[in-house]
Amino acid sequence: MTTALAFRDVNAFYGPAQALFGMQLTVGAGETVALLGRNGAGKTTTMRAAMNILVRRTGEIDVLGEPAKGTSDRIARRGVGWVPDDRRIFPTLTVRENLLLAQKSARAKDREPVEFDEVLEILPIMKRLIDRRGSALSGGEQQAVAIARAIVARPRLLLLDEPTEGLAPVIVEELQRAVADLPGRFGMSILLAEQNLAFVQSIAQQVLVLETGRLVYSGTAAEFAADPSIRERFLAIGSA
Ligand code: ATP
């Protein structure tokens, strides 16, 4: 398997409203691809289309070498971890219990979970959170737990939806180190929706820019960094 995720000419719809138009993308094995775009550009919809949830699609989507058909649970079983932007930590459970559930669910899907020690090595912030309840965590701490929970299941493809949104810089740095570590450590492929350009440029090899559901730019991270006009045109941001 050399391609973790492929979209060929994908359109996506919410009822009669079209949210993606002719989307093309490829995430190679072990590669990190960033999806940039303003609010409402279609980043979340791209992830939902890959998971076959909430949207109607046309065109072709392959996830880990097979068509993305069936329920999102079935697609996840192939080895896909999805961290939606609302995080969805269980508030009444402790962080440890949240992670234990993820381990149990990974075993039920015949996946060998990542041990706690390794998760704590990847995300050291988890050490002081482990006995806290989900409801007692800040937004950044919840995001760290949501990512840790996805890592536990040892996904081959990780879909990360705006992990740094609204977070303090110190947590963003920790998440950056953690996400950067995953391809080398586990051979993971990553699709990362983001608006934080510094985060993207430190992690991704490829950059895609979406505007109102259309792919308007695709290039290597180095090409993207070297061309500030892309940022000005599509993202209304002058510098990283
Ligand atoms: P954000 O950063 O705001 O999440 P995004 O790039 O992820 O932005 P999407 O959430 O994919 O964008 O939204 C793409 C388009 O689809 C927008 O016009 C949005 O209003 C619309 N949309 C998203 N979710 C739904 C839904 N559940 N029902 C109807 N329209 C939706």
Identity at 154, one-letter amino acid code: R
Domain hosting residue 41, numbered range: 3-234
Kindly give the distance from the C-alpha atom of residue 217 to the centroid of ligand 1, in angstroms, as a whole number. Answer: 19
pTM above 0.85, yes or no: yes
> Within a domain: residue 202?
yes
User: What are 37-76's pLDDT values in tens digits?
Assistant: 999 999 999 999 999 999 999 999 999 999 999 999 899 9
> Within a domain: residue 113?
yes
Kindly give the distance from the C-alpha atom of residue 174 to the centroid of ligand 1, in angstroms, as a whole number. Answer: 28
> Within a domain: residue 240?
no
pLDDT-derived band at 238 (thresholds 50, 70, 90) equals very low
Alpha-carbon span 178 to 124, nearest angstrom: 9
> Within a domain: residue 110?
yes
Closest CA to 223 of 213, 237, 209, 210: 209
Closest CA to 80 of 154, 145, 26: 154
Question: How many domains, in total, are found in the chain?
Answer: 1
CATH number at residue 139: 3.40.50.300
Query: Residue of the nearest CA to atom 17 in ligand 1?
Result: 40
pLDDT-derived band at 237 (thresholds 50, 70, 90) equals low
- The Cα-based distances of 181 to 11, 27, 40, 154, 196 in angstroms read 33, 17, 29, 13, 18
Is the C-beta atom of 39 inside 6 A of ligand 1?
A: yes
Q: Which mutation among 18, 43, 235 tests ligand 1's pocket best, with the greatest number of atoms within 8 A of CB?
A: 43
User: What are 119-162's pLDDT values in tens digits?
Assistant: 999 999 999 999 999 888 988 889 899 999 999 999 999 999 99
User: What is the C-alpha R_g of the chain?
Assistant: 17
Is residue 142 within 8 A of residue 133, CB to CB? The reply is: no
Pick the atom of ligand 1 nearest to 37's CA.
6
Non-local (6+) Cβ contacts of 4 within 8 A are 27, 28, 29, 31, 63, 64, 156, 157, 189
Residue 207 pLDDT greater than 50, yes or no: yes
> Within a domain: residue 239?
no
> Within a domain: residue 192?
yes
User: What are 84-128's pLDDT values in tens digits?
Assistant: 987 778 888 999 999 999 999 888 888 889 999 999 999 999 999
Query: Residue of the nearest CA to atom 3 in ligand 1?
Result: 39
Non-local (6+) Cβ contacts of 94 within 8 A are 130, 131, 132, 133, 134
Kindly give the distance from the C-alpha atom of residue 166 to the centroid of ligand 1, in angstroms, as a whole number. Answer: 18
Pick the atom of ligand 1 nearest to 38's CA.
6
> Within a domain: residue 130?
yes
